Amino acid sequence: MAAPLSNIRVLDMSRILAGPWAGQLLGDYGADVVKIERPGTGDDTRHWGPPWLDGQRGGESGYFLSTNRNKRSVSINISVAEGQQLIRELVAQADVLIENFRAGTLTRYGLGPDELLAINPRMIYCSITAFGKSGSRASEPGYDAMIQASAGLMSITGPAGRDSEGPQKVGVAIADIMAGMYATTAVLAALNAREATGQGQHIDVPLYDSQVAWLANQTMNYLLSGVAPTRMGTAHPNLVPYQAFATRDGNIMLAVGNDRQFAAFAESIGQPALASDVRFAANSDRIAHRVLLVSLIDDALRRQTTAHWLKELGDRGVPAGPINDLEEVLTNAHAAERVLVRHLTNTLGQDVPTVSNPVDFSSTPVSYAKAPPLLGEHTEEVLREWLGYSEESIASLRGSSAI
């Protein structure tokens, strides 16, 4: 059966991560995603290596490969009139356009939302910006790390206290990725609305606002208490015990979510009386006596190995897990069972590993049809397929440096 978005055409005019992540998700769900890139250089992340696919500089970077599956690459120079006209013609055939230029940039080229929605009123024009299309910071650029810092995430990430290590950013560009996820859901919602109204619309997804929105319980904790959350290392502000602990030979992540689980945990470590201790009986009590309880647990868990505790806790239904590195995650038996890694072949015959989309549709499967594209490899194909261009017209565009 066809993938769920097999009838949708997407122009992905974005680069780096937030926009490409959204485009890749739509491609995974079956959309025909055409990635528009600058001739000669393409998406900046093509050059963000090592590592490289072929082991040599000049191949495809791991960063680029991680976020451009299921796309076709078309090289268009939007700084020349002929290139701008090509975009307008492609827009007339598109259902969705994704872009993450600095606010106002595409408008200067005559490719802003007002201009393009006038050409195709049914299209969904999705802009991913740093700080939104309005407000005093609308024209500022934004990269993931600065958003993690300025929108609050780094203030709650890293070791507790004011030690020398200080605030930390998350180990992946999570502000970009989450903005891409918000953009994807917004595009799907707008496509559904179009079914009822027949009209497209402009969507603005700011990195900053997205970051603030998904801080979830941490922002609500502040709104209710008036106290800004701080860094707690691996600990949880609302649950105890919920953090990493050292064992005799390694570490373990404990995630006790309710009083029943705490009682089972206390039994697992041979101290069932902890569950009836008035200082620890309820989660709110455990939060009030966090330092003491954590000290008792730390002492107990250091006496046995990680494997021992995982079995004891697992047998009693207490959520806990090892702290695996990515080699273990991507090569262990569970990875094979769940097919977490798949292999695609690009047009050069190279094997391209990719991490699977986690969604499992029962009747409209995720697509793994295309390896991340080489720069501009589908330019002629798309111009012929979408626009009916002749070889002479394509040659003319090359002659004018539009493609």
Looking at the annotation, which residues are catalytic? 176
Type of residue found at 145: A
CA 355-359-361 angle, to 5 degrees, is 130
CA distance 243 to 338: 27
User: Of 180, 133, 174, 135, which Cα lies nearest the Cα of 151?
Assistant: 174
Q: Can you tell me whether residue 127 is helix, strand or coil? A: strand
Question: Tokens for 258?
Answer: 């309710």
CB 340 within 8 A of CB 330: yes
Type of residue found at 277: D
CB 4 within 8 A of CB 28: no
CA distance 219 to 152: 9
Sheet with 201-206: list strands edge to edge.
71-75, 32-37, 9-12, 96-99, 124-129, 201-206
CA distance 161 to 233: 9
Question: Tokens for 216?
Answer: 């979830």
